[in-house]
Structure 1
Amino acid sequence: MLIVSGIIYLDVQSIESDVNPASLAKIIKYFSTNVQPKTKQGKDTQYAIAISVPRSQCTDEHADIQKVFSKRDATHVKDELSKGQKCLLCTESRNVIAARPNRTTKEHSEHVLLYPVGESPMYMLLEQADQNRCVVFYSYNSPCVHKCIRGQDNILDGLSNWMNKRKEGMNALVFEEIWQKDITKNLQEEFLKMNVVVPLYRCKRTSDGMECQKCVENNNVDTFCLPEKKK
C-alpha cells in the first residue's frame, strides 16, 4: 500500500513477474528503428504503441522480436502513423495497436489507445492476450502530469482496466523521453501513481543502442527515470 497526498493506492505489483530490462531494451530499440514516426523536419515525435507477445520475448534477451512483429508489419504501422491513422490490430499478426495524438481533439496518444474503457483499442488487444503473454505499452514521451495523470481525462482508469484483465500476466508501461513541459516538475509522486497500477519502466538510447530500467523499487523512484538535475 502506498499513500500519496492523502490518497491510498493498493500496490498490485507483488503478484507481477518482472520484465527483463535487457529484453525490453531490444523491443523498444526495434520500435525506435522501425516504427518511430517523424516530424516534417525529421525529428522523433510523440506516439504510443502496445504489443502482445509471448512471455519469452520479455524475459529472454536473445528472443527475436521479428518473429512476432515482422519488419514488414512494423513498416505498415509506421506508414499508418505517418498518415495520421491509428493501428487497431492492423498487422498480419494482429498483436499491435498504435496511435499519435489527435490534432483535432487534442487527445493524447496514450488516451486514444486506452479509452473508452471496455471498448478501447487496448481492450481489443487484451481480449486476445492470455496470461501467458507479455503486454508492453510504450509512449515516446512520459505521460504528462497536467492531462494524463491529474486531468479529468487522465489515463489511470485505463491503466487499471488493463491490469484488472491481466492480474497474473506480465506487463510493462514504458516511456523514453520526459515530456518537455514536465522537465522542471517533481515527477516522483506522479510516477509512483502509475507504478502502483502497472510496472513503470524507462528506456534511453545509448551509444550501444538502448538501456531500460524499472522506475520504482520499494516505493522509491530511480533517478534513471527522472529528469537530469541541472549542474
Structure 2
Amino acid sequence: MARHVLLCLLCLLTCIPGGMLLTNEELARVTEYIKKEMTDGHLNFQHAYAVKFTLGECRRLSPEVIKQALSQEDIESLRDTVYKFGVYNGPRMVAASYSDSQVSQPTLHAEYRLLHGEGNVSPIQNLMNKAPEAGCVVFFSLYSPCLSRCVNIENDFNIIKELSVFDNVNEAQRAFVFRNIYSDDKKRPDNEIVDGWRSLNERMTLFNCKNGNCDRCFIRPVGGKESLVVRKCLHP
C-alpha cells in the first residue's frame, strides 16, 4: 500500500499528458556536454541555442549518444559566428547571441533571434524542417528570458507565440532550459518572476540547469488548474 501511494504521488508531480518529461539527468547531460565541448571559454556572455535529437536518441540520451548526434556540428564556426553576433545554423542545432546594437535597433535578444529570424523562415523553423525529424528538443538560454520583453505577451518582441514552432514535438519531449536568472529580473518580487515564467512554461516546460544539476521549475498536478512553482528555480 505504501509503495502504491508513493507511485501515485510521484505521478502527480511528474506525469503530464503524452508521457514522462525529458529527465533532469538527460537535460544535464545535454547542456553540460555542449558547455564543456562547444561553448565554455568562448561564449560566456548571453547566448541561446536549440538542439534536436531523433526519437531513437531521445530514448537513451547517454553521453555517447549526445556526442554522436552532434558530431557533424562545426564547433569553430559556432563559436566564431555567435561571438561575432551572428546566427549559427548547423545540422542539429542553431545558436545566437543578442544582436550587435550597432547593427540593429533595438537590440534583439538571443532567444528572439532564433525563434523569429530575419527572413520568412526562422533559424529554429529551418532546423525543425530539416531531416532528421526531431524526437525531442532542448532550447537553452544562458540567462532566463526577460520579463519585460521575452515573456511579456504585450511586447512585440516576446517569444511566447513563437514557441509554437515546437508544437509537433511531444509535449513531454521539449524543454526550455536556463542557467542563470537575468540580472534585471533578480530585483523583481518572486511573484512577478513566477507569473512571467508561467506563461512560457505553459508552452514549453521550464528547467534550471546549473553545475551539472537540473531542476524542473513548475509542477503541474494531474487535473490541476495551475502549475506550482519550484522555489529552487527562483534562487539557483
The TM-score, its normalising length taken from structure 1, stands at 0.78
Q: Residue 78 of structure 1: CA displacement? A: 1.6
Query: Counterpart in 2 of 1:3?
Result: none
Work out whether residues 217 and 230 of structure 2, in 8 Å CA contact, stay in contact via their aligned partners in 1: yes
State yes or no: 1:35 paired with 2:38: yes
What does 1:46-195 correspond to in 2, within 5 Å? 46-55=46-55, 57-60=57-60, 62-64=62-64, 65-70=66-71, 73-89=74-90, 94-104=91-101, 105=104, 106-116=107-117, 119-128=121-130, 133-150=135-152, 151-159=155-163, 161-167=164-170, 170-185=173-188, 186=190, 187-195=193-201
Q: Residue 83 of structure 1: CA displacement? A: 2.8
- Letter of the aligned partner of 1:85 in structure 2? G
Aligned sequence identity (%): 24
SS in 2 for 1:148: coil
Work out whether residues 175 and 207 of structure 2, in 8 Å CA contact, stay in contact via their aligned partners in 1: yes
Q: Residue 128 of structure 1: CA displacement? A: 2.8
SS in 2 for 1:33: helix
Q: Residue 37 of structure 1: CA displacement? A: 6.3
SS in 2 for 1:183: helix
- Letter of the aligned partner of 2:135 in structure 1? R
- Letter of the aligned partner of 2:205 in structure 1? P
- Provide closer, same or farther for how the CA distance between residues 74 and 133 of structure 1 changes in structure 2, counting only shifts above 3 A: farther
SS in 1 for 2:187: coil
Q: Residue 75 of structure 1: CA displacement? A: 3.7
Query: Counterpart in 1 of 2:233?
Result: 225
- Provide closer, same or farther for how the CA distance between residues 63 and 33 of structure 1 changes in structure 2, counting only shifts above 3 A: closer
- Provide closer, same or farther for how the CA distance between residues 130 and 214 of structure 1 changes in structure 2, counting only shifts above 3 A: farther
- Provide closer, same or farther for how the CA distance between residues 87 and 164 of structure 1 changes in structure 2, counting only shifts above 3 A: same
- Letter of the aligned partner of 1:26 in structure 2? R
For each residue in 1:41-62, what CA deviation from the matched residue of structure 2 results, as whole angstroms up to 9, or x when unmatched?
xx82100101111245545353
Query: Counterpart in 2 of 1:201?
Result: 207
Gapped runs of 5+ residues in structure 1?
A: 1-12
Runs of 4+ in structure 1 off by over 4 angstroms are 56-59, 129-132
Structure with more helix by fraction = 2
- Provide closer, same or farther for how the CA distance between residues 19 and 167 of structure 1 changes in structure 2, counting only shifts above 3 A: closer
Distance 1:16 1:68 in 2: 23
Q: How many residues align?
A: 204
Query: Counterpart in 2 of 1:45?
Result: 45
- Letter of the aligned partner of 1:103 in structure 2? D
Distance 2:46 2:87 in 1: 13
Query: Counterpart in 2 of 1:8?
Result: none
Aligned alpha-carbon RMSD (Å): 2.5
Work out whether residues 200 and 216 of structure 1, in 8 Å CA contact, stay in contact via their aligned partners in 2: yes
Gapped runs of 5+ residues in structure 2?
A: 1-15, 221-226
For each residue in 1:136-179, what CA deviation from the matched residue of structure 2 results, as whole angstroms up to 9, or x when unmatched?
110000000011011221000111x2233335672111111000
Q: Which residue among 21, 24, 46 is the counterpart of 1:18?
A: 21
- Letter of the aligned partner of 2:162 in structure 1? G
